Structure 1
Amino acid sequence: YPLASGDGYLVVATTRPETMLGDSGLAVHPDDDRYKHLVGQEIVLPIVGRHIPIIADDYVEPEFGSGCVKRTPAHDFNDYEIGKRHDLAMYNIFTDDAALNDDVPERYRGMDRFDARKAIVAELENLGLLEKIEDYVVKIPRGDRSGAIVEPYLTDQWYVKIAPLAKPAIEAVETGRIKFVPENWSKTYFEWMYNIQDWCISRQLWWGHRIPAWYDDKGNIYVGDDESQVREKYQLGELRLRQDDDVLDTWFSSALWPFSTMGWPEKTDALKDFYPGNVLVTGFDIIFFWVARMIMFGLKFMDDVPFREVYIHGLIRDQDGQKMSKTKGNVLDPIDLIDGIDLEALVEKRTTGMMQEHLAPKIEKATRKHFPDGINQFGTDALRLTFSALATTGRDIRFDLGRIEGYKNFCNKLWNAARYVLMNTESLDDGDVQFSSADRWIKSQINNVTADMHQHLSTYRLDMALHSVYEFTWHEFCDWYLELSKSVLQSDESSDAEKRGTRRTLIEVLETVLRLLHPLMPFVTEEIWQAVAPRAGIAGDTIMLRPYPEVSPDADDADAVADIEWVKQFILGIRQIRGEMDISPGKPLSVILQGASDSDLSRANREAILLRRVGRVESVTVLGADEKPPTAATALLGDMRLLVPMKGLIDVDAERTRLTKQQEKVKADLDRSSNKLNNKNFVNNAPPEVVIQEQERIAEFEKTIGQLTEQIQKLDELA
């Protein structure tokens, strides 16, 4: 760029040569000794011939390029801000379709921006003003749907002066009138709000609330609710008016949502009853776009906050951690997860109506890879449970079909448990009841779960709430209590009062489980509840109108909990022995107690029916202090040892053969892992986590070999 004084030139670098026609200044850093003396002088803009000033601004990086930067305020965001600081002229050189307009030399008018780029470079070279051309990597903004390069472009827009709206919205969160959950998201809110700028609310879209402004033929602007009000307010008579073609920003319209949906500006009953709301549930990516603007508008138009709490959840991403979008073709439609979809239909759905059709083959390939069999039918509740489990405090949530499969199994588990309960509670009556230790234990346990649910739901930890009720329902209720109940219901030794107590406990606990689960699992619980409620003596049309379970101080029973936990560990110990010694689950076993305390003996006697029917224990005897224990498989229960004598229980030769083969296989695995670690190339080149994994495998193999050796030695004692 030649100096207007004729004393030389300044070298300027640009990746957009066509925009030089709109330059209105040249910037250098105020501390750059190379150019200090030139600040305030002018240069002559090549091709255009316009004189533009040399300015000093801290934004310039002296070490970047030549240290001289051309400024085009109408076509660059940073240049626009600098232009405002230095009162630079703003020359808009583009038309709406990115061609050059009439504010450029005539030979370039109407020329496409990229054609103009080539022509300008050629003219600069002809004028002897081109220093050099070199490759340079730069981020280019593109439309996410069209892929077209986006051109910064100065236009007339409507703005909202935001400071008066932002101040009370900031105070509402600072004073606790609105709370973010998790609380750390308030920092994000404040970061945006403290640095907020005036809000451009006009959009050039086909659909939306139209800007309420009208123009006459002279360009005068009139603003009002509608055209008739404008004519009356400004006494325009029959003057021809044209309404602005722009529409309001989507988020402007959305900011009105908390009250506009309930009849505002009329003072309706709905508005009186439901504004403000309790909680807003949303993603962190629209805290500024939506949440902040609803707060500002609520305070402005309703003189109150729109909600008391804002629960922020993470964003669902695909199996590779990518944000789901139609452009990427990685969106999972919830309906497809609920009802299922075959592969061909899924491919067609993901590749039809795309803005960037050239991506269709890539999307089809990825879809066939990740969903070779399409998507199975999982049902609504399984999907809801999956989302609840994924509702952690993290930013990103990777969606995994394996999780939803697991929760479908949970729905089936509850359904089958309900069938068992309903089959065994057909003869409920109002006679005397006697509750077993198992009955009292399960009531105490569900009381603890109820307390957990209140705690977790009140703090929006849906993941922890689901975990608590899931663990109880699957493991405590289904796996243990239903089995323990059979010992009473299917035994001639049990009294009618005991059976009545167990039946009542079954139906009451199931009904409570359904209410605990209902917010997370509404459909299956409603269906089951319709059959359970009459048995439980409950009248009502729907579980939705039943009160949520409350914690009962009377339900805690520490003795029953201790007794049943002892029974569970006893039975698990016996099952461990069966697994280790390959003993059939249905084969009755004799058990000897070694080192039993008075408490152990009391429980063994008191809970004998449970040990016999659930644990398949045919007898329990006590080993005297001076008696030598027989050759037996052993399990620990606290300080007591559970001994199962092996003599006559198993085929010694067959079992020795089985264990020896298993030991040989584990030794071969041990040798392979040891050889890897003895290989210096492997240890030096393999990732550290792989080496650690092999070391852990060796430790596990050695432990297994030791256990097998011990079992074989026991067999030798029986021979």
Structure 2
Amino acid sequence: MLDKSYRPQEVEGKLYSRWMEQGAFACGRNDSEDAFTIVIPPPNVTGNLHMGHALNNTLQDILVRFERMRGKDVLWQPGTDHAGIATQMVVERQLAEQGITRHDLGREKFIEKIWEWKEKSGGSIIGQLHRLGASCDWNRERFTMDEGLSKAVRKVFVQLYKENLIYRDKRLVNWDPKFHTAISDLEVEQKEVNSHMWHFNYPIEGGDGRFITVATTRPETMLGDTGIAVHPDDDRYKELVGKYVILPIVGRRIPIVADEYADPEQGSGAVKITPAHDFNDFEVGKRAGLDVINILDENACLNDTVPEKYRGMDRFAARKEIVAEIEALGLLNKIEDHTHMVPYGDRSGVVIEPYLTDQWFADAATLAQPAIRAVESGQTKFVPSKWTNTYYDWMRNIQPWCISRQLWWGHRIPAWFGPDGKIFVEETEEEAFAAAEAHYGKREELTQDNDVLDTWFSSALWPFSTLGWPDKTPELDKYYQTDVLITGFDIIFFWVARMMMMGLHFMDEVPPFHTVYIHALVRDEHGAKMSKSKGNVVDPLDLVDKYGADALRFFLSASAAQGRDVRLSEQRVEGYRNFTTKLWNAARFCEMNECAVPEGFDPFTAEQPVNRWIIGEVAKCEAAVREALEGKRDGYRFNDASNAVYSFTWNVFCDWYLEFAKIPFQGDDEAAKAETKATAAWVLDEILKILHPFMPFITEELWLTLGAKRDADLVVSDWPVYPDTAIDENADAEMVWVQDLISGIRAVRSEMNVPAGAKIPMIFNDGSEAHKTRLENHWNVISRMARLESKAIDVALPKGSLQFVHDGATVGLALAGAMDLDAEKARLDKEIGKLNGYITGLNKKLGNEKFVSGAPEHVVAAEKEKLAEADVKMAKLKDAAERLSEL
């Protein structure tokens, strides 16, 4: 027997453990040749579940549960990423509390400490995904530093190196002066900073006191200037191109070059070029053949290439000293207040420097070509399609990929240096020594490169390394190519594109997935991006604790419209908790009325129109959900699927069918009663099946509690399949006619403010014989649900009646005896007057330019919404008043 209320806190953990014990999520549970594979975007081992994870994993789980129920051999491959810099930082911070550094321990001992931390504390996000209901095959959980995945990483690095697609070079990278490593663009956070723009005068060589003015936000970098660029079409400087200026403080001659990078409309139109400390300047320097002078060390202090007084000085201290010296030399033109974006390390919190250093690079431009063609040919498509151009823009302008990191935690680069600096790249140390011996003719000492690989390098192999590659495993053969990748737009470049490059290169030109579904951001209720600094971050587990996992999941799926950000509304999450309550109460109603599916019951032979109609509605609901989740038309439409099952369950089944069913339940027709009880139980079972991918916990709890004999748990039950005859158009037309009649009467009662308990006479005129038959057959339902006292057919309307047209017939409602018409007219006049004042106030407020331009966007939007709602209400009140005036 069902409890009076559903308590998710008591159910969710119990059911998840049951599923795990049964191996319900394991791939290979059935021998279907039709496989369906999704790889989880591996969360950082240091991470905690946030709203982006909750959305991403909910959408994956919906597809996985749906396809599992459809009989496919489903693999949802889980795992975590070793998260190089983030993990190293966690353990270094713990050591610092003990007064120890990683250098005190040494590399091997430090890495041992990280593994110890990983085993004890790492991967807490996996347990949080369990709470969300994620049905991954957890027995196959992988970690990007597992030996199998490390083997794949070494194989890929060595092969690409020997194909000349990985090389070592001196180039600019994003350098973190705190962690002493190159970092990726994704790890750089751009922050708006109020600072200054300094304008310096550089003397023109032999110019008799002439200057060229340049501007900079980083005065300290001027010590590394090796040129000045002007636009080739800028008439002000044409005569100066090819001449030199004398670099102040340093005294170095640097050339004036023509390059389109210089913008004649910005500042003086002349730009100082520091190739070693600015990415754009580096490219200008290459085009112009300028020297590249690195003036910083790994701590972002000035090195020995600068004048002696500045050597060893911190970059920001040097900034002040350089400005003071420029001013003392009479070369400071002006200083302006200036707001600009400054790159910070998202982990270290320090300003990142473009830094010239030896690093390992992948030839991304060559690797990108097959990945571009795969999307152009339709082998892989993006949903929504607008992200295709984003992908193309980046891939067609891709730069060499810096794959090395100056960290200790990660995949150590399989490269060894000989005594003369020659590099030997092999999968194992033994193979490297063998290659070196073959080269030198004797055994020589080798030193392995200290650097590790960018985390994205190993995660780029995720779709096939997790399946056992480079070994030829049965899993690789069956589950690759994977089906759909669900991820956020922010890692299209960093992960999606790189998986495409690696997958096509190493898996016989087969892309790693046929569809990339890009979900939107989860923002706060006002549409602002969530951030700790704004204090608007919401922990999804807090919502799970409060409303249950099903309510949060359903909110996320119902909100996941393609291309539209999700605005997190706790009120809406609460609303979907109410949906679980509605479903629970409907199940209790069926249970109390002894609804059950008898053995041998065939719903498609039902005779009662109301039962034939609801069976057809079930089939329509299933078709809508299936079409939206299959992704064949317009991609995956999670919101459409969610809204279809929500609307059917709440509006059609609960609000209409169960109300209709009360008549046979309470009647004397035993055959109609038995059929309706069986149909109600069957429909409830079908709802549980269709709703399960979205709300797995409550549906499973109801399935197990209500069913006396179930062949299997709902999680592994079959998805519904219905015959073409499931929809009875005649029954559909008949019951829709009844619903519309009831709805029309209810609308009039509401508009006219008829007391809820008042029963009123109805007059039905000019209807067809078929309409009259329907009215007669369903009078018990119509009279009860519309609160009618009596019916009369084809008679004159009494005074004080209000009428409306229903499917060609005239329906009259005798209101005079059910309410005080004069009092109602007075009430309406009062309501209209009061609302008119409210609307006038809103219009005045929104007409105030100061308010509209000064108030926060969400406040203005809220006022506009209030006005729209008030206008709708006013129209209804005036319509009601007009109707009353005619009585």
Tell me whether the two structures share a fold, i.e. TM-score over 0.5. Answer: yes
Corresponding position: 1:520 with 2:725:
no
- Provide the rounded CA distance (Å) in 2 between the counterparts of 1:56 and 1:582: 80
Could you say what secondary structure the match of 1:43 adopts?
A: strand
Corresponding position: 1:542 with 2:718:
no
- Provide the rounded CA distance (Å) in 1 between the counterparts of 2:530 and 2:259: 42
Corresponding position: 1:593 with 2:739:
no
Structure 2 counterpart of 1:401, from 559, 562, 570: 570
Structural RMSD (CA) = 3.2
8 Å contact kept, 1:575–1:585: no
Q: Please state how far the C-alpha of 1:557 moved relative to its aligned partner.
A: 1.3
Corresponding position: 1:88 with 2:286:
no
1:418 matched residue in structure 2: 587
Structure 2 counterpart of 1:11, from 179, 197, 212: 212
1:717 matched residue in structure 2: none
- Provide the rounded CA distance (Å) in 2 between the counterparts of 1:101 and 1:149: 18
Gap regions ≥5 residues in structure 2: 1-201, 853-859
Q: Please state how far the C-alpha of 1:553 moved relative to its aligned partner.
A: 1.4
Q: Please state how far the C-alpha of 1:462 moved relative to its aligned partner.
A: 0.8
2:498 matched residue in structure 1: 293
Give the 5 Å matches for 1:566-581. Answer: 566-580=737-751
- Provide the rounded CA distance (Å) in 2 between the counterparts of 1:674 and 1:111: 66
> What do residues 649-682 of structure 1 show as CA deviations (whole Å, max 9, x unaligned)?
45x4xx64465345334334446757998x9997
Corresponding position: 1:664 with 2:797:
no
Give the 5 Å matches for 1:274-423. Answer: 274-303=479-508, 304-326=510-532, 328-339=534-545, 377-423=546-592
2:648 matched residue in structure 1: 472
Structure 1 counterpart of 2:803, from 630, 634, 646: 634
8 Å contact kept, 2:424–2:432: yes
- Bigger shift: residues 278-287 or 422-431: 422-431
Q: 1:331 to 1:240 in 2, by over 3 A?
A: farther
- Provide the rounded CA distance (Å) in 2 between the counterparts of 1:662 and 1:399: 37
Q: 1:682 to 1:511 in 2, by over 3 A?
A: closer
Structure with the bigger percentage of strand: 2
8 Å contact kept, 1:73–1:91: yes
Q: 1:617 to 1:20 in 2, by over 3 A?
A: closer
8 Å contact kept, 1:12–1:70: no
Could you say what secondary structure the match of 2:353 adopts?
A: coil
- Bigger shift: residues 205-214 or 173-182: 205-214
Q: 1:55 to 1:588 in 2, by over 3 A?
A: closer
- Bigger shift: residues 9-18 or 392-401: 9-18
> What do residues 326-384 of structure 1 show as CA deviations (whole Å, max 9, x unaligned)?
45543322211101xxxxxxxxxxxxxxxxxxxxxxxxxxxxxxxxxxxxx11111111
1:204 matched residue in structure 2: 406
8 Å contact kept, 1:425–1:503: yes
2:877 matched residue in structure 1: 704
Q: Please state how far the C-alpha of 1:568 moved relative to its aligned partner.
A: 1.4
Q: 1:506 to 1:157 in 2, by over 3 A?
A: same
Q: 1:473 to 1:329 in 2, by over 3 A?
A: same
Structure 1 counterpart of 2:300, from 91, 98, 122: 98
Q: 1:130 to 1:185 in 2, by over 3 A?
A: closer
Q: 1:217 to 1:119 in 2, by over 3 A?
A: farther
Could you say what secondary structure the match of 1:139 adopts?
A: strand
TM-score of the pair, normalised by structure 1: 0.85
> What do residues 85-125 of structure 1 show as CA deviations (whole Å, max 9, x unaligned)?
12211110111111111111222211122222232233334
1:76 corresponds to which letter in structure 2?
A: D
1:163 corresponds to which letter in structure 2?
A: A
- Provide the rounded CA distance (Å) in 2 between the counterparts of 1:254 and 1:545: 31
Could you say what secondary structure the match of 1:140 adopts?
A: strand
- Bigger shift: residues 702-711 or 564-573: 702-711
8 Å contact kept, 2:486–2:519: yes
2:426 matched residue in structure 1: 224
2:627 matched residue in structure 1: 455
- Provide the rounded CA distance (Å) in 1 between the counterparts of 2:461 and 2:233: 49
8 Å contact kept, 1:435–1:502: no
> What do residues 117-147 of structure 1 show as CA deviations (whole Å, max 9, x unaligned)?
2322333344444444444444333334544
2:678 matched residue in structure 1: 504
1:266 matched residue in structure 2: 471
Structure showing greater radius of gyration is 1
Q: 1:607 to 1:167 in 2, by over 3 A?
A: same
Q: Please state how far the C-alpha of 1:583 moved relative to its aligned partner.
A: 4.8
Q: Please state how far the C-alpha of 1:6 moved relative to its aligned partner.
A: 6.0
- Provide the rounded CA distance (Å) in 2 between the counterparts of 1:214 and 1:50: 39
8 Å contact kept, 2:763–2:797: no
- Provide the rounded CA distance (Å) in 2 between the counterparts of 1:701 and 1:67: 60
Q: Please state how far the C-alpha of 1:293 moved relative to its aligned partner.
A: 0.8
- Provide the rounded CA distance (Å) in 1 between the counterparts of 2:368 and 2:306: 41
1:151 corresponds to which letter in structure 2?
A: E
Q: Please state how far the C-alpha of 1:472 moved relative to its aligned partner.
A: 0.9
Q: 1:563 to 1:586 in 2, by over 3 A?
A: farther
Q: 1:698 to 1:544 in 2, by over 3 A?
A: closer
8 Å contact kept, 1:94–1:100: yes
1:248 corresponds to which letter in structure 2?
A: L
2:64 matched residue in structure 1: none
Could you say what secondary structure the match of 1:281 adopts?
A: strand
What count of residue pairs does the alignment treat as equivalent? 666
1:181 corresponds to which letter in structure 2?
A: V
- Bigger shift: residues 219-228 or 378-387: 219-228
Q: Please state how far the C-alpha of 1:588 moved relative to its aligned partner.
A: 4.5
Q: 1:617 to 1:648 in 2, by over 3 A?
A: closer
